[in-house]
Structure 1
Amino acid sequence: MNAMIRRTLVGTTAVSLALALAACGGSSSSQSSTGSGSKTIGLLLPERTSSNRYETFDKPLITSAIAGLCTKCTVDYANANGEEGTQHDQFESLLAKGVKVILLDPVNAKNTANWVDEANSKGAKVIAYDRLAAGNVAAYVSFDNERTGELQGTALLDALGPKAGSAQIVMINGAEADPNAADFKTGAHRMLDNKVKSVAYEQSGEWQPTLAAQKINEAIRTLGKDNIDAVYSANDGMAIAIEDALHAAGLKNIPVGGQDASIDAIRRIVSGDQAYTVYKPYQPEADAAANIAVYLLKGLDVTSVASSMIQSGSAQVPSKLLTPIVVTKQTVASTVVSGGLYKAADICTPELAGACKDAGIR
């Protein structure tokens, strides 16, 4: 992320935060893992096993952003750890406490319409965070997900280079219940179709690394070791499992890409084991979510801070859609390091010292 992009993000966020702060009437916040009533914002995140982003980035960043916006607001947080039923119980618990604004990143976005309807009937507003939850949500915060898929597809073509036109590709997509996964897939196909020989094998890994490894082993058995030229993985957690399975089968130098810019993936990109990832800066997404939540808590019009509109069923939902960034070995320093996601010391273990020097990471 270059300096101009960072200044733009910081400047835009600062203006929005100042507006919300004025609406809240204060600059500090008491926080807790539980809370009730009109000054509480619920935060429900989907899992912690297949991706470390939610506990490491989303939860602390959103909590901190709300703390900086709203005097006496609390955050009531829970993580469903991949269990839809658990998340429904957590949602019901928030409504029972009288929570009026809920940030929801759904485990299964297709099955939330009744949840959202119930919340609306009780005067509560639901913000779809990262994934577009079904139902009449009040707002949506995420990234341009088809653009994410386009970046993934383009980066895979770049990794293949002149071999792309004759390449057979394996695609391991995200969970079928996740609308983002469908967008990633659509964007990736837009770039790959008619530019590679074929997508020879395509399955869902359901965001589960173990399942993704099973699928890639099935692809190896089905296609043969000599007939896989590259692998599209919808995220880094699955990509790492896929890379390990390929190596275990004796396959090397097969480009594999992912998404989420996890620290393990960044290290693998530096070492040459992973071709790319897609970095979706967490801070701007968290800031936008917190900002919209505070606006709704105060009964303010969110279209000034969520000015895009996205179709959800028959409704147009106010949305804030951010821009993802592709990361390769050549751009680690100018993206995730320059953008403040990681320090060079986080990435450059002693084993990677030489590779980090070659990549200009310092």
Structure 2
Amino acid sequence: MKKVVTRAAIAAASIALLAGSLTACSNGSQASSSGGGGSATNAKIGLLLPDSVTARFASADRPLFTDRIKEKCPDCSVLYQNAGGDASKQQQQAQAMLTQGVKVLVLDAFDGEAAASIVSLAKSKNVPVISYDRLINSGDVSAYISFDNNKVGELQATALVDRMKDLGIADDAGVLEVNGSPTDNNASQFKAGAQSVLSTTSYDVLGEYDTPGWDPAKAQSWAAGQISKVGVDNIKGIYAANDDTAGGVISAMQAAGATDLPPITGQDATLAGLQRILAGKQYMTVYKAFKPEAEGAADLALELAAGKKASTTSTVKTASGKTVPSVILTPVAVTADNIKDTVVKDGLFTAKDICTTQLADACTKYGIK
């Protein structure tokens, strides 16, 4: 199976950001692990999210996190910024929040390598950093909360392979592999998990792509080029790392005249992705329960803001081999058969949200009401 080697680009701004900033102050991780502590009353909590193209950040992560902070600490405030897919901008946003006196930074890094300099700057100011959803390559992170990312890729690829076998597709059929952003550590883990499954099959990977910034338009453009190269009818399965890139690839397939789409994976259980699944355009997605993730991050932030030790349950290793205390949640594969018992049951979306007039029959078929 063909492999693509990528390197996360480290933003040049990281050097300037760190210049002269490292002092003899104790780091946030040490301060947070002292136990005991007081109250987080009136604390400012910084929330930094990575991009605007991933729907979940605006629709789920930000409101769930903010609501949890307000619920548990009415006098606390959340300072929020979105990097818009720009690592240098995210570092500037972090620096501004530190200047404004945040007690904790909750950072979903656009670039997990470049964001290490944000952690170093926060450490010099004795501000703990929670690595949210995406792991930052720094041993000074105070806590990490996310999902089992290798498992996500395994779930996606297993669902794809099983569906292709169920459809009687030939063992040597061609598939496309559309991975996530090369600057996102999670994407490398999704990819590794998926390839651990795909590599055990005899399917022919016709092309493989790491999508810059998770941009659906770039995934669509690449897929269109692959379709022109190998022929739309020769693509019998598509591994897409999330729902947004899946949407881009589906648009490319349809533009090329595909009327019977092959099995296509996804992730994030977006509304558009779920509706495509019910419409028969996308086979599956991976549901990562954003509520426990966002609320868990808020709880960790309030503990750290109060000078307490973060209540983690596990550890993970960074890319450089450093151990980070962590909370690791379990992802779930979702097809049309279990939308009702997963995302609807958990209240991520209601049946009314999902079931448009065009999807009424599908919703009835799968008991979504």
Which band: TM-score by shorter chain?
Answer: 0.7 to 0.9
Report the equivalent of 2:54: 51
- Report the Cα distance in structure 2 between the residues aligned to 1:60 and 1:178, rounded to whole angstroms: 23
Q: Does 1:320 align with 2:327?
A: yes
Report the equivalent of 2:243: 236
Q: 1:58 is matched by which residue type in structure 2?
A: D
- The answer to whether the 8 A contact 2:45-2:77 is kept is yes
Q: CA deviation at 1:245?
A: 1.0
Structure number with higher helix proportion: 1
Alignment of 1:194-273 (within 5 A): 194-206=200-212, 207-251=214-258, 252-273=260-281
| Range that drifts further, 106-115 or 341-350 | 106-115
Q: Does 1:140 align with 2:157?
A: no
- The answer to whether the 8 A contact 1:24-1:294 is kept is no
Q: CA deviation at 1:315?
A: 2.5
- Report the Cα distance in structure 1 between the residues aligned to 2:331 and 2:170, rounded to whole angstroms: 24
Q: Does 1:122 align with 2:125?
A: yes
TM-score by length of 2: 0.85
Q: What secondary structure does 1:109 align onto?
A: coil
- The answer to whether the 8 A contact 1:127-1:138 is kept is yes
Gaps of 5+ in 2: 1-35
Q: CA deviation at 1:91?
A: 0.3
- The answer to whether the 8 A contact 2:219-2:248 is kept is yes
Q: CA deviation at 1:316?
A: 1.3
Q: Judging changes above 3 Å, is the alpha-carbon distance between structure 1 residues 289 and 164 closer, same or farther for their aligned structure 2 residues?
A: farther
Report which structure shows greater RCO (CA 8 Å, sep ≥6): 2
Alignment of 1:58-69 (within 5 A): 58-69=61-72
- The answer to whether the 8 A contact 1:168-1:228 is kept is yes
| Deviations 1:67-108, CA, capped at 9 Å, x for gaps | 122242111111111122221111000111221200000111
Q: Match for 1:277 among 274, 285, 295?
A: 285
- The answer to whether the 8 A contact 1:149-1:188 is kept is yes
Q: CA deviation at 1:256?
A: 1.1
Q: Match for 1:163 among 162, 169, 190?
A: 169
- Report the Cα distance in structure 2 between the residues aligned to 1:218 and 1:80, rounded to whole angstroms: 29
* C-alpha RMSD of matched pairs (Å): 1.7
| Deviations 1:279-299, CA, capped at 9 Å, x for gaps | 101100011101111111111
| Deviations 1:289-314, CA, capped at 9 Å, x for gaps | 01111111111111xx2120111234
Report the equivalent of 2:184: 178
Alignment of 1:186-197 (within 5 A): 186-197=192-203
Report the equivalent of 2:300: 292
Aligned residues: 328
Q: Match for 2:99 among 92, 96, 100?
A: 96
Gaps of 5+ in 1: 1-21, 30-37
Q: 2:348 is matched by which residue type in structure 1?
A: L
Q: Judging changes above 3 Å, is the alpha-carbon distance between structure 1 residues 124 and 164 closer, same or farther for their aligned structure 2 residues?
A: farther
- Report the Cα distance in structure 2 between the residues aligned to 1:323 and 1:23, rounded to whole angstroms: 31
Q: CA deviation at 1:24?
A: 6.7
Q: 2:90 is matched by which residue type in structure 1?
A: Q
Q: CA deviation at 1:222?
A: 2.1
Report the equivalent of 1:13: none
Q: CA deviation at 1:225?
A: 2.4
TM-score by length of 1: 0.87
- The answer to whether the 8 A contact 2:37-2:307 is kept is no
